[in-house]
Amino acid sequence: MKKTILLASALVFLISCKNESTEQKVIENTHYQPAFPGQTRAEIVTTQTPYAVDIITKNLGLAWAVTNLPNNKLLITNKEKAEMFVVDLANPDNPKKVTGFPEINLTTQGGMLDVIADPDFENNRIIYWTYAEPLHDEENNDRTAVAKGKLAVDESQVENVEVIYRTFPVSNSGLHYGNRLAFDKDGYLFVSFGERSNADMRKFSQDLSSPLGKVLRLTKDGKAAPGNPFANTPNALPEIYSLGHRNPQSLAFDAKGQLWEIEHGPQGGDELNLIKPGTNYGWPIITYGVEYSDEIIGDAITQQEGLEQPVYYWDPVIAPSGAEFYNGNIEEWQGNLFVGGLKTQLLGRLIIKDNKVVGEEHLLKDQNDRIRDMVTGADGNLYVVGDQGKLYRISKK
């Protein structure tokens, strides 16, 4: 009897060790320690409110961004083609193609990217979008461009197209364009740009003479908005609002008017940042990640005086895309931050209290779709797009 108990205890110990080892292998990309409790791996939560997930169209191609239009319609970009779609939620399975866009470089991570409607769209019908703009030079360089134009009344095309901002220096990496667009309550346009990935391009995240690796605050004409933090700094671009970003593909304002940014980090270092004017978020000097080859980055430090810590980081990474502070029909989700996961093929829900992440949930994992973007519709439902061309509607049962 004693021998049986000892054998059973040993077996439990071995299983426990095996599970612990497996868990470590699964959950860790790096072994860096967080700067404060709750900075990573928040408590996993589960929605208690019954909800339904419906696929209301499958005809969008590789959908990169979604935004609201009036009259219960959505405007959705297709990354792989120089077009957008207007989806009437009363007849969602027949998206209307929008054309008339400038030439777009359809490359690895480039293409047609984000889109947003002017806050006064009902009166002026202006939309803004970002895309990879080819240069047609010998090196096949391109840059991220921000354009605006008028959506025709019949929604078939954009008119009076004008490019209002272009990034520099140019690159042929095909990577890390960023980006996202967001309007604040004063009507200023925020745009995030990646640093184009290559080792020789990363330095521009810390260079105030380039928009790469930055969040900018612009007027609707693409000029520096008044009151920007570097307006009086010698040799600095007056449009810069924050710096030290890697590949930011998410921007969203919360109910308090605070701007949040989420960026693709290296392996083990995807970040959620609360954006403050003039603040340096550290890339590539500090990071919680390592290269995809497992090599260290820089001096392998995660903190340095004068450089801002992320509110939250993902280790392992989710490859984040899109962001939306929910204000729909499910009371349990009010004020929660939703984010897409490309690598992990999920829709993430973050519960944020006092500007700290206190809970995380992973939704839509059964769809096996790389989630790109999401928006709360005028009807109070959450609409989500991803690489498979599907438009998901998440509603309260």
Is residue 224 assigned to a domain?
A: yes
pTM of the model: 0.93
Is 245 annotated as catalytic? Answer: no
| Per annotation, catalytic residue among 176, 245, 264, 362 | 176
Collect the ranges in the chain with pLDDT lower than 50. Answer: 1-26
The answer to whether the beta carbons of residues 158 and 100 sit under 8 Å apart is yes
CATH of the domain at 204: 2.120.10.30
Is residue 136 assigned to a domain?
A: yes
Distance, in Å, from the CA atom of 264 to the CA atom of 226, rounded to the nearest integer, reads: 29
The answer to whether the beta carbons of residues 213 and 243 sit under 8 Å apart is yes
Structural domain including 308 reads 39-396
| pLDDT value for 27 | 64
**What's the distance, Cα to Cα, between the start and end of the chain in Å?**
55
What would the pLDDT profile of 157-216 be if each residue is shown by its tens digit? 999 999 999 999 999 999 999 999 999 999 999 999 999 999 999 999 999 999 999 999
Compute the Cα dihedral for 332, 334, 337, 340 and give only its sign.
positive
| pLDDT value for 390 | 98
Is residue 306 assigned to a domain?
A: yes
Using alpha carbons only, what angle is made at residue 128 by residues 123 and 133, rounded to the nearest 5 degrees? Answer: 155
Total domains in the chain come to 1
Is residue 71 assigned to a domain?
A: yes
| pLDDT value for 190 | 99
Is residue 7 assigned to a domain?
A: no
Is residue 231 assigned to a domain?
A: yes
Is residue 122 assigned to a domain?
A: yes
Helix (H) or strand (E) holding 123: helix 121-124
| pLDDT value for 140 | 95
Is residue 19 assigned to a domain?
A: no
| pLDDT value for 81 | 87
